[in-house]
Structure 1
């Protein structure tokens, strides 16, 4: 028996109601449902008592999430963890709970109601909703900044092993992680290359949460506070992970130009970004690009757009290295 053909109207209406899925994910994460199921399945009444919820409403929430593979309801009405639900546990090896809570927070969600104005006027929807740029907002709201930074560190960590596996980092010299946040990627690189030294470069408020102390070799790393629009520390490899997509082309050229000037002879710049491929197929970079449209002046870029950007900064792209995930590594050297 064949399935009936898809109804385009029904499909589009379902997409229009798609905002309910992240709302349900957020609710499940805030309630701590996944943690309560770590030891086995539970019925909604028992589970509701453990998480402080209304049992019938909780069942409806989990039944909906189960349609996306997040939790599973069995024949007895009990709910189980699934691989997609397990990563909502705060203590799961590959938890995404901090990312989910950041991405679904109000200050990230509310600007999406102004997407049409962003498209009409070519300005981030966030600016229209809040009256000031995204990073200015974070500077004025420390609690939201902490939530965002923790979420982005968690979001970033899901890709770090794939990056270190995909690229042959040098065995010696100094790698400068420009706008490197808490330094999780740099930590992984230094662990993989014992002959390297590292510099984590970011704003002072962000560096307060750095994780480089986990390396256990304090002589191999340092943290430096500063503004990458002004200058960056000297090094043999300048690493920029998910930095360029935050900023306009003009701002990126300024950052890349500062990296070029700070490179030692024979050095490289390595930008880790979602390089958008041609065609109509889904790609995580296209989803990220909508987030940029809502929040910031930057955007995700194609390979030709990256090459043009680096050219303007006096750098020449030597290769683009894919990883096993959504990100690619754009490597460049000083142009002749």
Structure 2
């Protein structure tokens, strides 16, 4: 073969290879774009309670539809999609069963997550996520443009949505609380204040098995009404404190803030942390329980939640250096980061140099 012919053949081969790679890329990107339909199907299944109807074994779509008041052909199509990810399984006779991986969808499961699914896919999260382009253009949340007010103001005016949020957060936290509490550096005898602690799931996990601890659950009155601390094991070792962590927090030896700072911007976080520093007993510590974003391209749930924060709230997930800057601006020193078996870490702060009023609002740029 003449050299010119060889060159033409090589160029043709390169073009073919590039074209094949392009087709693979196009197929992958399209598949990724269709991915939003999976959580939509998961929400639908959770909303109608189909998992509860499968506790005793496989059933046909017709049987499930009759039990849930749904349309059988539509329900089958939803379950067929969910079966591709392993939460349900279709057998050779067209019946569906709940798998071990999907068991947490049952309302009576050891750790039920149905309310968390409904919260994460609620319209307050779903609709702003569809408007991420607005975030890129404006640099702010899309929530206000859609609902006419900030996230938490909307919740204060809509009791039904607020209930979805608080019940969902409690369910989302249930699988995390015990392993996080087991890794928190609690003294043998101390007062632990759960700042913005919701229904008190983490504080309850901390008090159990630690008779020397006394707990204070701090939150708004309507949230405290749903607390879970009144158990025989914790009798006499807890109290409720109504308040706003932007104004003040109760004094204590250990101040817990679980999934709090990621809701707020840097200046607001510094204000919360300054109030914690003022309330901290001598030798005490602040324990911020949040995702600590790892460097690099590895998947991490915090990177996903960070985009949700951007769309619906004003906060963000942070790196270790981000937390260090916040702590420093609030008069705290980041002493260590303690990993847990969950996606969250414990960022420990101790009292540092009292900051000036100017530095309190200037934590530095994002890392």
Aligned to 1:30: 47
**Structure 1 unpaired stretches of 5+:** none
TM-score, L = length of structure 1: 0.96
Identify the match of residue 307 of structure 1 among 324, 330, 343. 324
Query: Contact (CA 8 Å) 2:119, 2:168: kept in 1 or not?
Result: yes
SS of residue in 2 equivalent to 1:19: helix
Indicate the residue corresponding to 1:92 in structure 2: 109
2:303, 2:317 within 8 Å by CA — same for their partners in 1?
yes
Max radius of gyration: which structure?
2
1:194 corresponds in structure 2 to 211
Contact 1:170 1:193 in 2 (8 A): no
Structure 2 match to 1:12: 29
SS in structure 2 of the partner of residue 192 of structure 1:
coil
Q: When the two structures are superposed, what TM-score results if normalisation uses the length of structure 2?
A: 0.88
For residues 143-162 of structure 1, what are the structure 2 equivalents within 5 Å? 143-162=160-179
Q: What is the SS of the residue equivalent to 2:130?
A: helix
Deviates more, 1:233-242 or 1:165-174: 165-174
- 1:218 deviation in Å? 3.8
CA distance in structure 1 between the partners assigned to 2:255 and 2:47 by the alignment: 38
- Superposed counterparts of 1:1-336, under 5 Å: 7-336=24-353
Report if the CA contact (8 A) 1:233-1:262 is conserved.
yes
State the 4+ residue runs in structure 1 displaced beyond 4 angstroms: none
CA contact (8 A) 2:208 2:233 kept: no
User: Matches of 1:223 and 1:317 in 2, distance apart?
Assistant: 28
The CA distance in 1 between the partners of 2:234 and 2:125, in whole Å, is 38
Query: 2-side partners of 1:57 and 1:92: how far apart?
Result: 26
Q: Is the 8 A contact 1:114 1:128 kept in 2?
A: no
Number of matched residues? 333
Bigger mean CA offset, 92-101 vs 5-14? 5-14
- Equivalent-residue separation in structure 1 for 2:322 and 2:209 (angstroms): 31
Specify whether residues 29 and 242 from structure 1 end up closer, same or farther in structure 2 by C-alpha distance, changes over 3 A only.
same
Measured after TM superposition, the shift of residue 11 of structure 1 is 1.5
